[in-house]
Amino acid sequence: MPGVLGISWHAIKHWYYSHFCRLTATVLTEADIPRVQGFYCGSADWETYVADWLKSGEVIKDMKNPRRQTQTWLFWRRRRLVGFGSLGKTRRPIPAGTPQFVDAAIIPFFGVDKDYHGKPRYASRDDRYAGQIMNHLIHHARQFDLPYLCLYVDPENDRAKGFYRKFEFEDMGRGKNNMDVMAIRLA
Residues that bind ligand COA (CB under 6 A): 41-42, 46-47, 50, 110-112, 117-118, 128, 130-131, 151, 153, 157-160, 162-163, 166
For ligand COA, which is the closer residue by CB, 110 or 148? 110
Taking the C-alpha atoms of residue 85 and residue 71, their distance in angstroms, rounded to an integer, is 8
Cβ proximity to ligand COA, 26 vs 135, nearer residue: 135
The CB-of-170 to ligand COA minimum distance in angstroms stands at 15
Shortest Å distance, C-beta 162 to ligand COA? 3
| Nearest residue (beta carbon) to ligand COA | 162
Which residue's CB is nearer to ligand COA, number 33 or number 179? 179
Q: How far is the CB of 98 from ligand COA (least distance, A)?
A: 22
Task: Return the number of the residue (31 or 84) whose C-beta is nearest ligand COA.
Answer: 84
User: 92 or 128: whose CB is closer to ligand COA?
Assistant: 128
- Could you tell me if 81 and 75 are in contact, meaning their C-beta atoms sit under 8 angstroms apart? yes
Alpha-carbon distance of 107 to 104, in angstroms, equals 10
CA distance 144 to 140: 7
**Shortest Cβ 27–ligand COA spacing (Å):** 19
What is the rounded (10 degree) CA torsion for 28, 31, 32, 37?
Answer: 140
CA gap 109, 173 in Å, rounded: 19
Q: What are phi and psi of 38, to 5 degrees?
A: -85, 0
Q: Taken in order 103, 175, 151, 82, is the CA torsion positive or negative?
A: negative
